[in-house]
Structure 1
Amino acid sequence: MKLLRYGAKGSEKPGLLDEDGTVRDLSGHVTDLAGDGVSIEALERIRAIDPATLPAVAEPGRIGACLASVPNFFCIGLNYAKHAAETGAEPPKEPILFNKTTSCLCGPDDDVIVPHGSEKTDWEVELGVVIGRPAFHVSEEEALDHVAGYCVVNDVSERAWQIERGGQWTKGKSAPTFGPVGPWLVTADEVPDPQALALSLKLNGETVQDSDTSDMIFTVRQIVSYMSRFMELRPGDVIATGTPSGVGMGMRPQRFLRPGDTMELTVQGLGTQRQRAVAAD
């Protein structure tokens, strides 16, 4: 299934994309898509609904984040071998974990706001993993049984705040609109191998990131199992699993987002995001 949320910001409705590409209104069956609403059990209840019985939405308009809210927005740093190389970093021996604040969540096609004082706002196309079942001390063999589905994430980052201002990476990752998610939550049954997905990002029409998830240092199985040793993952949690090479920080000379720039991000089978960078008011 491909699930989505459509409508004006703050007034989104849950929907389902049918096989013909028509948006179907799910609001008569579910309140929204978040938390326990995207648990594996909740998704099975949605799966039992015949899409043809759902109202068709002729003009869905804006597509919102595929999740209304997230309990936690986790990220994995330096998880692609070529990306680690372009930053001059040694490949990590264990997954690097950090958070984006949940307030950065936004729609896949919403404008990305370059914050006041930012000089190094950067792009990062990533495979997002949505947890569907509590996971605590799960093995790698069991890990994917706890995944509800997958989505496209742009882990927008302010590199000066992330790297040059001390402390943890979170403050460079969390400004409003720094977390575009969607357009769809694609259920795990439609992604038989999360390590075989092409992903790319175009900046102003030029492809700058072009890779696939086989370049990940730590696989989705390894990430979920590893994280569950230290914390309980909950339904609706999102894990952005790292970005491939081609970010602005890795370019020579470096290149960062400026108002008017456009981004187009695609992950195979998970849809496309399109964003415009705008100046903060």
Structure 2
Amino acid sequence: MAFVFEPPAQPSLAIENVGERFPVRRIFCVGRNYAAHAAEMGSEVDREAPFYFTKSAHALLPEGEDLPYPPGTKDLHHEVELVVALGEGGAIFGHAVGLDMTRRDLQDAAKAARRPWATGKDFEGSAIIGAITPGPLEGDRIALKVNGETRQEGPLELMVWDVPSLMDHLATLYTLQAGDLIMTGTPAGVGPVGPGDVLEAEVPGLAPLRVTIATGSSGRMT
């Protein structure tokens, strides 16, 4: 098959202690899945059903790369999340630690205008995800440090919708397939980061995630 230009490379993630890589198909993100985070954002949890937004697979920033400060924002926020990776038949392949990076000022403007969140949530490098650890999840807590200071920390059991519930509900809306990722929401404590900041995220039993915020191609907006 001939293309008018070279197709982009298949987005993928490392797999802990495995030479093969995990090809990423879609990224589903769960909104307001921790009550305390919803409250700090001035919202309430919808306990009747979870809701979602998506990120392009090409928004991935794999572990080991710096994140250039993105254009168009003065308020880049961190949101640490447990990530579920799906394998054959839509079953759980493994888990990873991720960061849902958010241009908060653009998201807030979209909310105020009752518009989609795409510009605030889906941009290059906005889905930072560490190596996938195959198998069942063993850790029960999630944490994020910025420059060595704990910003976010809490038990995973505080998720309003646990992983089986999220998968069951998503399956009523989409055909879940191998390569799909689910970013399961963030606990309270989100906040701004800027060039030079070092973010370190962890869930016990999973490969840790470390990323540095670099100066963007056009610099941080002022």
TM-score, normalised via structure 1 length: 0.67
- Residue 143 of structure 1 corresponds to none
Query: Deviation string for 1:120-174 (max 9, x for gaps)?
Result: 1110110000111334xxxxxxxxxx21111111111111222313422232122
Query: Deviation string for 1:13-52 (max 9, x for gaps)?
Result: 96652xxxxxx6x3xxxxx423xxxxxxxxxxxxxxxxxx
Give the 3-state SS of the residue equivalent to 1:264 in structure 2. strand
Q: Structure 1 vs Structure 2: percent identity of aligned residues?
A: 31
CA distance in 2, matches of 1:197, 1:277: 27
Higher relative contact order (Cα pairs below 8 Å, separated by 6+ residues): 2
CA distance in 2, matches of 1:214, 1:107: 26
User: Which of residues 122, 145, 151 in structure 1 aligns to 2:96?
Assistant: 151
| 1:112 has 2:60 as partner | no
- Residue 209 of structure 2 corresponds to 273
- Pairing of 1:21-40 with structure 2 (within 5 A): 26=19, 32-34=20-22
- Residue 6 of structure 2 corresponds to none
Change (3 A) 1:217 1:14: closer
- Pairing of 1:100-249 with structure 2 (within 5 A): 100-135=55-90, 146-165=91-110, 166=113, 167-182=115-130, 184-189=131-136, 191=137, 197-248=140-191
Given residue 77 of structure 1, which amino acid in structure 2 is its aligned partner?
A: G
The unaligned stretches of length 5 or more in structure 1 are: 1-8, 18-23, 27-31, 35-68, 136-145, 249-255
Change (3 A) 1:157 1:279: same
Given residue 156 of structure 1, which amino acid in structure 2 is its aligned partner?
A: M
The unaligned stretches of length 5 or more in structure 2 are: 1-8, 218-222
- Residue 38 of structure 1 corresponds to none
CA distance in 1, matches of 2:107, 2:15: 36
More helix, by proportion: 1
Change (3 A) 1:13 1:262: closer
TM-score, normalised via structure 2 length: 0.84
CA distance in 1, matches of 2:172, 2:40: 30
The higher radius of gyration belongs to 1
CA-based RMSD of the aligned residues comes to 2.2
